[in-house]
Amino acid sequence: MLAYFDRENAGQCGSCFNGTAAMAAVAGALRDGIATDEDLARLRRWSVQLRGRGACGTLDGAANVAASLLAQFPQLVQHHLDNDCAACASAPFAAARPYAVEEATS
């Protein structure tokens, strides 16, 4: 779902263009079994801080999806952090991730 918001945003405002890409990158990393606790902390932060920053509702929609994933499926998220997921590994494709997950700054 977050990959959809990343692909389908209008590219007109930086907060949406970059924000949807960053959230999609974390979701993709989670799917691929390479996400870290820091990635999820960033996703949690973005799901709150990015609301209301876009010119339309796209960024809000993406932030709400991210927040729902973290709030409604915490056990599933943790499982993807701790283990390989057979369902994700058997998926017919992996979405392209043109943007790397943001590196943590100290």
Tell me the domain boundaries of the chain.
Answer: 1-90
- One-letter amino acid of 85: C
The tokens of 43 are what? 């996703």
Q: Give residue for tokens 């790397």.
A: 100
Answer yes or no: is pLDDT of 102 > 70.
Answer: no
> Strand, helix or coil at 40?
helix
pLDDT for 48 equals 96
pLDDT higher than 80, residue 51:
yes
pLDDT higher than threshold 70 for residue 94: no
Of residues 70 and 102, more confidently modeled: 70
Q: Please tell me what DSSP assigns to residue 52.
A: T
88, two tokens = 């994700």
Token look-up 């701790």 returns 82
5-40 confidence digits (pLDDT tens): 998 889 899 998 999 999 999 999 998 888 999 999
What's at 101, amino acid-wise? V
Q: Does the pLDDT at position 99 exceed 80?
A: no
Is it the case that residue 105 has pLDDT exceeding 70? no
